[in-house]
Amino acid sequence: MLKKGMKVAVLTGAGISAESGIRTFRAEDGLWEEHRLEDVATPQAWNANPEMVWRFYQARRRQLLEVEVNPAHDALAELEEGFGEDFTLITQNVDDLHERAGSKRFIQMHGELRKLRCEECGHVCEAMEPEQLKDDYVPCSNCSNQRLRPHIVWFDEEPFGRWTCEAAVHDCDVFIVVGTSGHVYPANNLLPIARHTGSYCIGVNLDPPLNVDFFHEFHQGKAGELLPGLVKEWLES
């Protein structure tokens, strides 16, 4: 179904990063590394217990130094190279693995672990120096605020670039969804948008997601094992 000149949009979720060793938000017990989501991933949690939330995300940020891209990330970077400006990658993931693999045309709708944000002046900075990865708060370099927050979209916050994402999906000819459970709104609304606007929808995931019925074709298995072959096939079509 993929041919040169078509517009292609891709949505990736936690499953693609899990294959690189990054744990997903939604474990079977409903916890994220022994924490309830509402205790570490909401504005209310940050206001109530910033020390715990900060330590939690600092540990996630340090983990970026220990993980590597996998063949699924490389395959999507190759697909982008093949389609150029007709390609858009939307990711729910907050790691930097797509960027490391060479992807350039991507939107991180849930933020970036590599960055911190000032709630006073709005300044966003990359903060991956050793002293910025400790459990001490990092001060803002642009104002007097002594406590930056993770540059992450928490539950109950508006995703970054939401309308740009929806526009890309609305206009695409082919929509590919990789490694998502279909649980998280509004990302899970992109597949119905694509289907209802006439896009051909392809899914790749370890297990069938909640919205599996929206796909024209679904490939079950690990993205790192399936995507390289699929991308090669698509690029040769």
Q: Based on the domain organization, do 48 and 118 belong to the same domain?
A: yes
Q: Based on the domain organization, do 28 and 143 belong to the same domain?
A: yes
Residues designated catalytic: 110
Q: Based on the domain organization, do 188 and 231 belong to the same domain?
A: yes
Q: Based on the domain organization, do 125 and 186 belong to the same domain?
A: no
Kindly report each contact of residues 137-142 with a partner whose C-beta sits within 8 Å and lies 24 or more positions away, as own/partner. Answer: 137/54, 142/118
Q: Note down pLDDT in tens along the chain; length 237 residues.
A: 789 899 999 999 999 999 999 876 554 544 455 678 788 999 999 999 999 999 999 999 999 999 999 999 999 999 999 999 999 999 999 999 999 999 999 999 999 999 999 999 999 999 999 999 999 999 999 999 999 999 999 989 999 999 999 999 999 999 999 999 888 888 899 999 999 999 999 999 999 998 999 999 999 999 999 999 999 999 997
Last residue of a domain, one of 97, 120, 152: 152
Q: Based on the domain organization, do 164 and 175 belong to the same domain?
A: yes
Q: Based on the domain organization, do 181 and 228 belong to the same domain?
A: yes
Q: Based on the domain organization, do 176 and 214 belong to the same domain?
A: yes
pTM of the predicted model, to two decimals? Answer: 0.94
Q: Based on the domain organization, do 115 and 216 belong to the same domain?
A: no
CA-to-CA separations, 42 to 30, 53, 87, 102, 211, in angstroms, rounded: 15, 9, 32, 31, 25
Q: Based on the domain organization, do 95 and 129 belong to the same domain?
A: no
The boundaries of the domain holding residue 147 are 23-66+111-152
